[in-house]
Amino acid sequence: MGGPSGKPDPNAAPRLRLDKWLWQARFFKSRSLAAEVIEAGHVRVNGTRISRPGRDVAEGDTLTFPQGQRIRLVRITALGHRRGPATEAQGLYLDLDPPATPEPLE
């Protein structure tokens, strides 16, 4: 992001739009779906409710958001440059969700 002079600040941490990061990390099939969830106020960044899809995120931010029937809790470990294969996308975050416990057999 540019400083007061409009020139990029070399000391600024790299940042990426929240909707774009969620799409690149393959949590949503499209950026527009990610944006809808964000605009509805269902996404939190570092515990703060976010309603702007253009909100910047950086490495180290923690995201909480719904995905299907689950509530996901992930920490951003890298910013993507493209929407690559699932194996590449899994390297963009650390899953902080506790592992699902198998349901007991009756």
pLDDT digits (tens, 9 = 90+) for 57-71: 999 999 999 998 889
Predicted pLDDT at 97 = 82
Q: Give the structural domain span for 78.
A: 16-95
Predicted pLDDT at 105 = 66
Banded model confidence at residue 29, pLDDT cuts 50, 70, 90: very high
Q: In the predicted model, what is the mean pLDDT of residues 1-5? A: 58
pLDDT higher than threshold 80 for residue 9: no
In the chain, the number of structural domains is 1
Question: CATH number of the domain that 56 lies in?
Answer: 3.10.290.10
CB 84 within 8 A of CB 73: no
Between CA 58 and CA 42, with CA 100 as vertex, the angle to 5 degrees is 45
Counting residues of the chain whose pLDDT is more than 90, the rounded percentage is 72
